[in-house]
């Protein structure tokens, strides 16, 4: 974006203003709008005129229009930008072309929800072309939707040459930090992978095995691995159909010189619940009626040692059912270890929904190097996939 001349130019910017609204349709958390402000201010300071587009929620085309109108965002957006924001109740068509034609240098126009058109999620070219026709320059600052080949996030970029499109600051930070860990990681590189299911993390593990020196596996997904090596896991989460694959991943990691650590002990529970009776046991001898809901103290120690000796760390997925206090210790202890390693000079990236809420809950979001805002998008990036929204700008 820094190489583009915005002076006297109309700029179509795709942001992620998909914020929560209450019953009265007031914004209850404006974080996503706040995060886009630096990019928007920069373009205005450079003499640009802004045409801002976003999706909001998952409206069913034409039936949910009142509820999901971006008009509900206008006042919050205007207050945060400290500037008048104009609104037009469509995102393509004559009414929008007229509103755009009436803009003066430095004006800000917010378009209606792009998902009011099914063509948006279809990435439909004609709709994308209409969006593109509104502006001289296209900027994408919506990393959270960069893994979707939608019209306003991807296809629209095809109608701008490489000198007239770019990433906003948010998107740029996400992409460069993601690429840094994937292609430029200082060794030892440790990936911490947790969460509920192995099936959700297979591609992530396959990609990381080839890159990381260590992978620490926690959370519910660890038990499929433990069972695959002959462990007794009681009623812990297990995906039996993935036992073979778990074995293969362990073998493949060995071949590639990537060390996989499974939790030596677990906090096991009598039932799945906040008030369950608990006992700490070796992870491979969990009683038949019990289930592992957190990594135990030996695992915390072993994992923390590896983390403290690392120079690059990525973390995706909690170590246990951290929503329940009794089973949150492992996740928070790992959060503290990542923060301590960062203080020692490691680069740490927290990517993916629940590890982001865990680091926030631990109050450590400022003690790690980068917290990704794009759950699914960052997961796909770490899986080694090319994100369509990123590729469309780089082409």
Q: Which of 379, 321, 385 is nearest to 353 (CA)?
A: 379
Tally Cβ neighbours within 10 Å of residue 140.
29
Output the CA torsion sign for 17, 4, 128, 123: negative
Active site residue 148: no
| 257 burial level (CB within 10 Å; 0-12, 13-18, 19+) | exposed
Of the candidate spans 115-123, 126-134, 238-246, 318-326, the one that interacts with ligand AMP by CB under 6 A turns out to be 318-326
Of the candidate spans 45-53, 86-94, 190-198, 244-252, the one that interacts with ligand AMP by CB under 6 A turns out to be 190-198
Binding ligand AMP by CB under 6 A: which of 123, 144, 296, 317?
Answer: 317
Q: Is 205 in the site for ligand AMP (CB under 6 A)?
A: no
Q: Is 193 in the site for ligand AMP (CB under 6 A)?
A: no
Q: Smaller CB distance to ligand AMP: residue 103 or 202? A: 202
Q: Smaller CB distance to ligand AMP: residue 296 or 320? A: 320
Binding ligand AMP by CB under 6 A: which of 123, 178, 195, 389?
Answer: 195
Q: Of residues 206-265, which lie at the interface with ligand AMP (CB under 6 A)?
A: 219-220, 237
Q: Tokens representing 151?
A: 């019209």
What whole-number distance in Å separates Cα of residue 4 and Cα of residue 376? 29
Q: Smaller CB distance to ligand AMP: residue 320 or 388? A: 320
Question: Which residue, chain included where needed, has tokens 């770019």?
Answer: 166
Binding ligand AMP by CB under 6 A: which of 103, 149, 173, 196?
Answer: 196
Q: Are 151 and 123 in contact (CB under 8 A)?
A: yes
Annotated catalytic residue: which of 10, 14, 32, 165? 32
Annotated catalytic residue: which of 259, 376, 384, 385? 376
Q: Where are the alpha helices (DSSP H) in the chain?
A: 31-45, 74-81, 94-101, 118-122, 125-132, 169-183, 202-209, 222-228, 243-256, 297-308, 329-343, 353-361, 375-382, 388-394
Binding ligand AMP by CB under 6 A: which of 293, 314, 381, 392?
Answer: 293
Of the candidate spans 58-66, 119-127, 319-327, 358-366, the one that interacts with ligand AMP by CB under 6 A turns out to be 319-327
Active site residue 385: no
Q: Which helix (H) or strand (E) holds 10?
A: strand 10-14
Binding ligand AMP by CB under 6 A: which of 144, 296, 320, 351?
Answer: 320
What whole-number distance in Å separates Cα of residue 148 and Cα of residue 128? 14
Of the candidate spans 42-50, 209-217, 276-284, 317-325, the one that interacts with ligand AMP by CB under 6 A turns out to be 317-325
Annotated catalytic residue: which of 83, 197, 326, 385? 197
Active site residue 353: yes
DSSP codes joined into one string, 150-216? -TTTTGGGGGS-GGGEEE-HHHHHHHHHHHHHHHSPPSSEEEEE-SS-STTTHHHHHHHHTT-SEEE
Of the candidate spans 48-56, 158-166, 241-249, 315-323, the one that interacts with ligand AMP by CB under 6 A turns out to be 315-323
Residues in binding contact with ligand AMP, number by CB under 6 A: 16
Q: Is 323 in the site for ligand AMP (CB under 6 A)?
A: yes
Q: Which residues participate in catalysis according to the annotation?
A: 32, 197, 353, 376
Q: Which residues bind ligand AMP (CB under 6 A)?
A: 195-197, 200, 219-220, 237, 292-293, 317-318, 320-321, 323, 353-354
């Amino acid at each position: 974006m820094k190489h583009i001349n915005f002076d006297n130019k109309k700029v179509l910017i795709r942001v992620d203003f998909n914020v929560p609204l209450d019953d009265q349709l007031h914004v209850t958390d404006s974080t996503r709008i706040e995060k886009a402000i630096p990019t928007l201010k920069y373009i205005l300071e450079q003499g640009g005129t802004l045409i801002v587009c976003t999706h909001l929620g998952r409206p069913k085309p034409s039936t949910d229009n009142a509820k999901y109108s971006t008009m509900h965002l206008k006042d919050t957006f205007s207050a945060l930008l400290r500037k008048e924001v104009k609104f037009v109740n469509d995102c393509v068509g004559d009414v929008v072309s007229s509103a755009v034609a009436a803009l003066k240098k430095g004006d800000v126009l917010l378009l209606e929800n792009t998902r009011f058109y099914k063509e948006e999620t279809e990435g439909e070219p004609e709709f994308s072309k209409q969006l593109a026709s509104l502006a001289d320059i296209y900027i994408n600052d919506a990393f959270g939707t960069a893994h979707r080949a939608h019209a306003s996030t991807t296809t629209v970029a095809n109608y701008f040459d490489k000198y007239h499109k770019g990433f906003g600051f948010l998107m740029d930070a996400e992409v460069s930090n993601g690429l840094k860990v994937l292609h430029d990681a200082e060794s030892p590189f440790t990936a911490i992978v947790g969460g509920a299911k192995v099936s959700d993390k297979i591609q992530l593990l396959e990609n990381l095995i080839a890159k990381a020196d260590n992978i620490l596996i926690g959370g519910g997904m660890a038990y499929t691995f433990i069972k695959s090596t002959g462990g007794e896991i009681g009623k812990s989460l297990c995906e039996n159909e993935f036992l073979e694959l778990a074995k293969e991943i362990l073998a493949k990691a060995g071949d590639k010189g990537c060390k996989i650590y499974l939790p030596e002990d677990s906090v096991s529970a009598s039932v799945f619940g906040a008030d369950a009776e608990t006992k700490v046991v070796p992870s491979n001898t969990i009683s038949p009626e019990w289930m592992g809901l957190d990594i135990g103290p030996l695992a915390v120690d072993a994992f923390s040692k590896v983390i403290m000796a690392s120079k690059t760390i990525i973390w995706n997925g909690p170590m246990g059912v951290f929503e329940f206090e009794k089973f949150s210790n492992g996740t928070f202890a790992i959060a503290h270890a990542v923060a301590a390693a960062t203080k020692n000079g490691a680069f740490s990236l927290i990517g993916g929904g629940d590890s982001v809420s865990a680091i926030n809950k631990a109050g450590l979001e400022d003690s790690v190097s980068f917290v990704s805002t794009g759950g699914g998008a960052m997961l796909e990036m770490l899986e080694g996939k090319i994100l369509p929204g990123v590729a469309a700008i780089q082409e």
